[in-house]
């Protein structure tokens, strides 16, 4: 049931909180982004009863790990100057996914 709560928050509220943590990562040097992936992995099984929240949790996890992977590749490529472009592309892609996901969550749509 989507009305079940985990620690006082509904699964949809948990997903919304993770989007906020991911977005705030741009202002906290990535600390809240790290917190978001920890919350994702810990609370994942607790939101399985809500298909909308579960789809957002999976989306958020993929967003984090893909951006981390490509960020590491770009870090290596910075030595060749090409990595700077990689960081710009990753930043735009990451922001798009966080905003798009939050919009779809607020509309109660899966992603």
CA–CA distance, 47 with 90 (Å, rounded to integer): 28
Q: What is the largest CA-CA distance in the chain?
A: 51
**What residues pair up with 6 in beta bridges, in sequence order?**
9
Q: What pLDDT, in 10s, does the model give residues 27-53?
A: 998 899 999 999 999 988 888 889 999
DSSP 44: G
pLDDT score of 9 more than 50:
yes
Residue-level pLDDT at 91: 94
pLDDT tier, 67 (very low <50, low <70, confident <90, very high otherwise): very high
Domain boundaries, the chain: 11-65+93-106
Residue-level pLDDT at 78: 86
**pTM of the prediction?**
0.83
Residue-level pLDDT at 1: 41
């Amino acid at each position: 049931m989507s009305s079940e709560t985990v620690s006082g928050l509904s699964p949809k509220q948990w997903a919304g909180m993770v989007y906020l943590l991911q977005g705030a990562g741009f202002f906290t040097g990535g600390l809240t982004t790290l917190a978001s992936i920890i919350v994702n992995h810990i609370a994942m099984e607790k939101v399985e009863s809500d298909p909308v929240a579960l789809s957002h949790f999976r989306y958020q996890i993929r967003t984090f790990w893909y951006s981390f992977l490509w960020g590491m590749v770009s870090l290596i490529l910075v030595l060749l100057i090409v990595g700077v472009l990689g960081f710009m592309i990753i930043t735009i892609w990451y922001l798009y996914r966080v905003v798009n996901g939050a919009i779809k969550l607020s509309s109660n749509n899966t992603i």
